[in-house]
Structure 1
C-alpha cells in the first residue's frame, strides 16, 4: 500500500469513527479497508452493548410523592398534637381533612424533588455510560491491532 493510500484510509476511518468519537484509527497489522470497517462496526457494537446494560433510573417522582405524602401526614399530626387543648376539640373529620391536605401538598413537593433527583441520576449515568462506551470502543480496536489516538 502506498503512503498516500494509507493516509487516505486513515482519514476515511477517522471520519467513520466520528459517530462514536473523534479519533484517528491507524491499522498496525496491514488490515484491509474491509477488515477495518468490520472491526470498527464490531467494536461499536461492543461499546454500545456495554453502555446499554444499565437501565435508566425511573420512578423518582412517584417515590418522591410517596415520601412527601407520608411526611406531610405525619407532620400535620405532630403539629396538631403540639396544641393538644385545641386539637382535642376539633372533629375527627376535620383532622383527617387537614392531614390529607398537608399530605397532598407535600406529595406535590416530593414529586418535584424526586423528578429533579431522577434527572440528576440520569445525567450522571449518561456521563458514565459515555465514558464506558468510549473506553470499550478504544480497547476493542487496540486489541484488534489498531492505534487509536484522539
Structure 2
C-alpha cells in the first residue's frame, strides 16, 4: 500500500513540478500528497513575488537594452528559483535538479 502511495505521489509531483522547473520534490517529513501540493503552490507564489519585485537599482527593466536586459532577467530568474527551492526546503522537502 505504501509503495503504491509513494509511486502515485511521485507521478503527481513529476507532472506538477515539470511546469516550472525540471526537478524532483521529495517530502522528508511524511507530508501527504495534498500537503505537498499546497506547499508547492505556496512556494510558486513566493517565486512569482520574487519575479515581480523591482530591481535593486530601481531601474526599469524595459529601459535596458540588449545584453544588459538579458542579464537583468536571468538574474531575476535565478533569484526566483532559489526563493522557490528555499521555500520548499524550509517546509521539509528535498529538491533535486
User: Would the TM-score normalized by the shorter structure come out above 0.5?
Assistant: yes
What is the 5 A alignment of 1:41-120? 41-54=41-54, 56-59=60-63, 118-120=65-67
Q: Quote the residue 1:141 is aligned against.
A: 88
Whole-Å separation in 2 of the counterparts to 1:59 and 1:46: 26
> How many pairs align?
93
Q: Please, what TM-score do these two structures have when normalized by structure 1? A: 0.56
Query: Tell me, which stretches of 5 or more residues in structure 1 are unaligned?
Result: 61-117
| SS of residue in 2 equivalent to 1:20 | coil
Query: Tell me, which stretches of 5 or more residues in structure 2 are unaligned?
Result: none
Q: Quote the residue 1:131 is aligned against.
A: 78
Whole-Å separation in 1 of the counterparts to 2:32 and 2:52: 30
Q: Is the 8 A contact 1:11 1:24 kept in 2?
A: no
| SS of residue in 2 equivalent to 1:54 | coil
RMSD: 1.7
| SS of residue in 2 equivalent to 1:148 | strand
Whole-Å separation in 2 of the counterparts to 1:35 and 1:59: 41
Larger Rg: 1
Provide Cα deviations, 1:103-150, integer angstroms capped at 9, x if missing partner: xxxxxxxxxxxxxxx132221111111111111111100100111101
Structure 1 stretches of 4+ with a deviation exceeding 4 A read none
Whole-Å separation in 1 of the counterparts to 2:87 and 2:41: 11
The structure carrying a bigger helix percent of its residues is 1
Q: Please, what TM-score do these two structures have when normalized by structure 2? A: 0.84
**Deviation at 1:5?**
1.7
